[in-house]
Amino acid sequence: MRVLKRKTYMRAIFNSYVGSILTCYFRHLGGVFQEAGIIVTSENRKEIDKIIQRVVGTEGKHCPEVWAEVKKCIKENNSEFVEELKSAWKNREQRFTHCLHVKSENGEVRLRKTLRIYSDGGARGNPGPAAIAFLITTEQNHILTKSSLYIGTHTNNQAEYLALILALETAAALKPDEIVCHTDSELVAKQLRGEFAVRDKNLKQLWQRTRELEKMFQEVRYVNVLRTDSHIQEADRLVNIALDKEQVK
């Protein structure tokens, strides 16, 4: 029994170590991903890792070896590495373009319209003075609109939901077929994906409002992204500007 516990403990330590390597590995490449137009999410991390391994020629090797080769490529020719990564990611996306067409009401076939939402909400105190912000972009990361709003006293989680709700209401006017919602709130993303239960009565009301708004689109997806995502950082900046303006009144 003691030996088994020790093995379990060592396995946990190993997994934690590998996880920390992966975290650092991607954290250091934030600028590279931004230049290549790649948005890292919990869902596509493994796929991006495989693409990087193909680019640097380290397929099947462990993370420290991959990271060492990536650093070498960046040092030798950063722009070339970015271009190769960008090309590999673009080719990956193009494999799915044949599935991205829809038939309009008059029977014409047109390109499926997908928009991305990046929303953020924050409160200074929990609850406390709160503000929300969002950006709506095309699939090519062109910003179509962005906005922020002071919302009074709320909790952080309420603010996260309210930011998403305002973004969905705004996006509906643009008439997309699909919306991909990006948030750095793991709670919100998992509750809307059905992975977490919604027990708080106030959040339940906001969750229900979000579900109602989903009916305005053919498909809605929720993605939990890192706080280092450039669009999330911009939304966070807008949140703080709104809070600062209210504070000086």
Which CATH number do you get for residue 172? 3.30.420.10
What is the distance between the alpha carbons of residues 247 and 220, in angstroms, rounded to a whole number?
A: 35
Residue 145 lies in a domain: yes
Q: What are the φ/ψ torsions at residue 53 (nearest 5 degrees)?
A: -60, -40
In this structure, the answer to whether residues 162 and 217 fall within a common structural domain is: yes
Q: How many CA atoms lie within 13 A of 13 on its CB side?
A: 6
From residue 54, alpha-carbon distances to 11, 86, 89, 129 in Å are 28, 13, 11, 47
In this structure, the answer to whether residues 57 and 133 fall within a common structural domain is: no
In this structure, the answer to whether residues 160 and 79 fall within a common structural domain is: no
Residue 39 sits in which domain range?
Answer: 2-94
The string of pLDDT tens digits covering residues 137-190 is: 998 888 999 999 999 999 999 999 999 999 999 999 999 999 999 999 999 999
pLDDT for 3 equals: 47
For residue 22, name the pLDDT band (cuts at 50, 70, 90): very low
The string of pLDDT tens digits covering residues 75-89 is: 888 888 888 888 777
In this structure, the answer to whether residues 74 and 32 fall within a common structural domain is: yes
Number of residues written out for the chain? 249
Residue 224 lies in a domain: yes
User: Domain count of the chain?
Assistant: 2
In this structure, the answer to whether residues 86 and 128 fall within a common structural domain is: no
Residue 133 lies in a domain: yes
Work out the burial of residue 189: count CB atoms within 10 Å of its CB; fewer than 13 is exposed, 13-18 middle, 19 or more buried: buried
pTM above 0.75, yes or no: no
The string of pLDDT tens digits covering residues 88-141 is: 777 765 544 444 455 555 665 556 689 999 999 999 999 999 999 999 999 888
